[in-house]
Structure 1
Amino acid sequence: MKSTQTASLRQMSKGMTLLYIEDDSLARDAANSLFSEFFDDVIVGFDGEDGARLYATHHEHIDLVITDITMPRMNGIEMIEKMRAINPEVAIIVISAHNEAHYLTQTIEAGVDGYLLKPLGVTQMVKTLGKVLEKLHLRHENMKNALLLKQYENITNTSSIISKTDPKGVITFVNDKFCQISGFTKEELLGRSHNIIRHPDMPKTAFRDLWKTIKDEKKTWQGIVKNRAKNGDTYYVKTTVQPILNPDGHVDEYISLRHDITAIMSDKKQLFDFLEANRLSVLILVQIEDYTILEKFYDKANVEKIEDAFGKNMLYLMPNRWGFQRVYHLGNGLYAFAIDRRNCRASKEEIHAVLEQFLANVKEYIVKIDAIEYDISVICSFTYGIYKIFEDAKIGIENAIQKKQSIVYADGLSGIEYDNALKNIETIHMIKTAIDNRKIISYFQPIVNNTTQKIEKYESLVRLVTEDEQLLTPFYFLETAKKGRYYTKITKIVLENSFAALAKIPEASISINLSMHDIERGEITDYIDNLLLQYEDEAHRIIFELLESEDIKDLLMIKQFIKKVKMKGVKIAIDDFGTGYSNFERLLSYEPDILKIDGSLIKNIQNNQVNQNIVETMILFAKKQNLTTVAEFVENEAIYEIVRDMGIDYSQGYYFGKPELF
């Protein structure tokens, strides 16, 4: 063993705690002596039950577990499951004897990070430990970076006027928008505190609350702050201050984000205060239509005059049956009427009728400002309730713009279910149109024999062609199709396309994806029976790729279907082997002919030793079961050579060909 490797390992394991479990006392003493050279603290367990107890007690301090498999009272697999239940991310290395190969598939399922073979050698130990510890260090760095990134994202997505300070409140960064609104240059701001823009009207108690929240409680603070620009102008900002914590929980810096609400501070605040005080209210929003065009035709001063003039006349234009007292001007051509629901008990149909009259009145109204005459056109949304009433009405305005409607009843539109439903409706329409126009098509990707490099199989892959001729993969439509009646139609089309393609490739097989839920649908299995009867002489060239699912309702039905089609010559492949819900015992009960090793294990196999180890174990497993193996995601020559040399039988990926039409 090279001294540099040993030194590197000692450096990586510095400060780490190892839990080592071995029931053989001689082996335990020898290995413990070796492990103690590298780890500051080694906790020793005598069997599986002892190891599980020790981990439950000390798991917060344990960085790595090294364990035997065959032990009394509780074997290593059971112990690992208990540890994973406490911490799914704990790093585990298994020490195994050559005669314990039958445990390999179970350890793969358990997600172990490495293997050591008995008798334990220093060279292999250093090599395996080095890779696992390197993985632990990378995981720690990723967690640290993700923590910081998440905190930054949460705050930066809130607003656009940004500053940063050190823990003492000294400004270390401002963006351009901060300089624009405050009137100060970056040079004038950096190294100063935010007192430079503090307005004298802001009470000291407000800032005491701010610092208590972000410094002592280490929580996010939000509020409205009144500031003073360099030229003395007052401006209001909705402010969010976030303490940025390091992994030790200490504040490294503070980030403040602000949104300028000066133009709408008065009316919008008063509207929100009214809605808060009157939890059951009628809210009507009115938006000047094509407001962006108005801004392009006139300068800012004249746009404001037009808005002000219209706002002052809106109460006269509104049939004021319920006694609206004022109009709230919210900026950018948006206005609001609000009234207590007790003073307006009208139905939505009655409110809609009043708004129709309001729109008619507006249509006849002309804004006259100096030499400007402007015909106002507006759209409206209205709602009443107690939950997110303003958000509902605002979304109603957006929908009115998109759908070119003049009035929208907006109650409940802010709910996430509405958004999802709208997207689903659009996707369902796209699917229906594609089915009606025969635009559900099949592409075929070659699968190559790794020995001969000849194409012997093709995988059938569904595609959807949109009305504007875009080609979509299943990611964009299949999950939505599963929620409706069109999924079965898509599956039938794919089956029909795939069987028909047999005539175009007389020497090759066609592989077709089927989910377990497809098989549970009698309509699909009946259709498959008819196709197999129609293509009886070619059935031996059909492969059904099964994707395992954790919520199978009728396992017996699945097995009966597989048995029936295999009797007709069809082969069965297990797709995405090595990921997802794979249950080895259940998969073997399907009597597959082919295992397709998931692309997530293959695409990084050049630089990922753990992936190599897992794939090698899968190949060993497949060969013992006399199963053919296929590597997915073979994207280049280097990956191909690796999987070929490892003994995988077939390759599928862009290196040999993209999915194409026949």
Structure 2
Amino acid sequence: MQISLTDLVNLTSKLRVLYAEDDLILRENTVSLLHDLFSEIDEASDGAEALKIYKEHPYGYDILITDLNMPHMNGMDLIKHVQSINPKQPIIVVSAHNETEYFLESIRNNVSGYILKPIDFDQLIETLYKVASLVKERLEKASLQATLEQKLEEQSEQLAQNSQIVHDFLTIDTVTKLQNATMLYNFLDNFPQNHQLTIMLYNIDNFSFINQTYGAEFADEALFKVGEYLQYNLSKEVHLYRYNSDEFVIIFDPQIINPEFVAIQIQAFFRETPIGEYEEKPIYITLSCGIATANAPSSLLPNARIALREARMRGVPNQYNIYNTQDVFLKRAKIETSWIQKFRLALEEDRVVPYFQPIVDNQSLSVVKYECLARIEDDGEIISPAHFLEAARRSGLMSNLTRIMINKSFKIFAGQNVAFSLNITNEDLLNQTFIDFLETKQKLHRIDPALVTFEILEDIIISDINRGPLQNLHVLKKMGYLLALDDFGSDRSNFNRLENVGVDFLKIDGQFIKGIDTNLRNQDIVESIASMAKKIGMQVIAEYVSNEAEFETVKKLGIDYSQGYFFNAPLQLPMKDA
């Protein structure tokens, strides 16, 4: 077939070529010819130089043309290296040898074309046309494949969106945006037997009056507000559902949360908080509650319904009643009251001491900082926060605990180039005197703020931007302190909020790290968190790393730092003299 230059140029005008030839005169003459055919020609004087150029632009050349006999690296070795990078790279060999062995080796290395020296113009045109046609065919196939994949991806996204819409319709209540009764039943059906569980069944007192007096639209808004306010008053360990028309269900583990404390807290909140206004007048509601605790999930709702009925029979709104009252709640309340007293006494007698757990760089295994953790000394026994932290919260003494930890930790690390982190709470950030206290202690102990990281929980991040806690976080950042978000993944925050606040570190919630070496779902979650965090410049810390298998897994998933008993338990450091 006679090939015209016009036909060839139509194929080659947009292609890029890498040409390797040690003969300067031949290379210049050939390049001069090739410049009329190709959009760009890169030259190399030997195989080693050609490989270096190729590595700088992998997948950047449409055709590689190479001589066989060259210094430093011959053509066949160059071809093998290139094909290890891109096995589909089109290659033309130029050789002065017309021997069977060279042809066979070229075939074995999947060479696309073979040109003999001295170069015959017609053979060159024919070979270039054949290889350029191959390139065109591959590009067209790749373009078609990309188009098909894009269409498949678009269809998959649409299916996912439709699936999510259907899922939300079946599982989310349209008025309150809470999980609905279907999800409640599903939770109870799948909850393990012989594991204690508490249900609180709430009913809005005289809701029919609200509906009839203020209208259906106001009533729906009231239901939404009740759901929103219940969420506001509940911790992350609690499940909340809209059950029936004006009923809500709360589920939790009574070993973690005291049901009576929850009931009292919610009663007090709705007593003081209107759910809306009607004709510029605040509208208040009350809720009655039935509480049931059992090991058999199937008995919980019926028992809670009985308890609710008994509460409403008292004829007084805003009441709660416990089904089959046992002394377990009273015992728990007494225990918590006892711990509140113990904690107050520990503060008064200065028995709160900081312990320090190292945070380790996953690559170098060096300690990069220490987390300061509160402990109580009691007759030689060291008591962990699991016993007294809730007592500190309920007694309103969390800020006292924070200030003691800051003062003692600053004193220990005074004047040292040691990085450390401290936990602070919403209550601390709500109090303007906290910033003043921090400035005073920073100056007194000569602490560089860049060495101090304050660890916060997600409830601060998801608060309204105009609220005090978020404003004071920005103040801390301006002072030079770093921020870490603790227990990431356990609540509802998002990366946009984190970036706006200026969070420097994410500490992945321990529930995702425990057993991560065998839990593929948690591996996917952790890897996604790490990837997204790095894209916005945040470093990631894995907490509760307890063994080598977990450490190797989080390291493989791209986590920057680790903390846990695999490296060291929290240690006590000597306090400096005043």
Query: For the superposition of Structure 1 and Structure 2, which TM-score range results when normalised by the shorter chain?
Result: 0.3 to 0.5
Relative to the length of structure 2, the TM-score reads: 0.45
Relative contact order higher in (CA < 8 Å, ≥ 6 apart):
2
TM-score (ref. length: structure 1): 0.40
> Which protein is richer in strand relative to its size?
1
